[in-house]
Each structure stands twice: as C-alpha cells, then as structure tokens.
Amino acid sequence: MTIYDFTANDIDGNPVDFGKFRGDVLLVVNVASKCGFTSQYEGLQKLYETYRGRGFRVLGFPANDFLWQEPGTESEIKSFCSVAYGVTFPMFAKVSVRGKGICPLYAWLTDKGEHPELGGKVTWNFNKFLIDRDGGVIGRFGSRTKPLAKPVLEAIEAVLGGLSRE
C-alpha cells in the first residue's frame, strides 16, 4: 500500500485522488489554527514555494484532536490560512488523526505494522510525515521540529535529489 491508494476531500469538499501526486515528494502535516505551533504555517508555505518546482508538495490536514485547537469550519480554516499565512499549498477537509474516528490516511501513516520505525500515534498538531516519490513514508518529524529545521531540509533535499520537474 502507498499514499496513492487514498482519496480525501480537499478543503472545498472536492474528492482528491492521491494518485494525482504520483511522483511527487510530499510532506503530510496535521495542522491547527489555534495551536502554539500554528506559526509553522509560515515555514510550511516557504518549503512549498522553495521546492514545488522540484516536485514537492505540502499537504495540510486540519484536525481538532488536541484541545479543540481547530474548531472552525473548512471555510473559516481556509480563510485563516490564506489571510494570516498566505497558504497556497493543498489543504484538505478537517479529519481526525487519532482515536476511533481516525481517517484512513492517518491510520495508514501511523500503522506500526506498515511503518515499524515511523509509525505510532500522532502526538500533537503539526506532526510531519515525509513521503517519497514512490508513495512510501520515509521520514517523520514531531511538532517541535520546525518546517525549516536542518533535519527537515536535509531529508527533503536528499529525497528530491537534483531533479527539477518544471
């Protein structure tokens, strides 16, 4: 199984087949608008702008699983992200990233059977999963690791290599 086997609704409610990202490097992040880490939107947008020409995408998944830090509707979330942080990377409908209501994508991302070294519960908002061009999980970064931190940049550079996709 790979990330390309999933479909999720975008923030406007339209279904997105993840097969459309085949060949791209992805950073999948559970986001929240009222979290101490919300300012990471700025770094995520910078990553997207810096690397999208090389086949890199940030995929944002709003989640209200931690202290109700994403209480808004999709429309409110979209407006907040656009106005406050200029977000242009793909954003998706609100999902659950843990517990009984976990969405299928996050169930797969966190499955220790599928990903023995990188699986495990999402611990807070702004956990980041790095997906290679073949759709497999190859890296994971916690909430405290900022998007522009050296380990994140090095991992992205390593998986992107020197290829330009534009």
Report the CATH number that the domain containing residue 37 is assigned in CATH: 3.40.30.10
Please report whether residue 72 resides in a domain.
Answer: yes
- Is residue 77 assigned to a domain? yes
Place of tokens 């970064």: 141
In a domain, 3, yes or no: no
- The answer to whether residue 164 is domain-embedded is no
Domain assignment present for residue 165? The answer is: no
User: How many Å apart are CA 87 and CA 33, to the nearest integer?
Assistant: 12
The verdict on residue 1 lying in a domain is: no
Total domains, the chain: 1
113 inside domain: yes
Q: Give 22-69 pLDDT, tens digit per residue.
A: 999 999 999 999 999 999 999 999 999 999 999 999 999 999 999 999
Taking the C-alpha atoms of residue 17 and residue 97, their distance in angstroms, rounded to an integer, is 19
Domain that holds residue 47: 8-159
pLDDT of residue 161: 87
Q: What confidence score (pLDDT) does residue 166 get?
A: 44
| Residue numbers in the chain where pLDDT is lower than 50 | 163-166
- Is residue 103 among the annotated active site residues? no
> Which candidate in 35, 138, 149, 159 is catalytic?
35
Instruction: With 0.85 as the threshold, say if the pTM is over it.
Output: yes
The pLDDT of residue 165: 46
**Which of 65, 77, 62, 11 is closest to 32 using CA atoms?**
62
The CA distances from residue 135 to 40, 124, 161, in Å, are: 24, 23, 16
pLDDT at 162: 57
Residue 166 lies in a domain: no
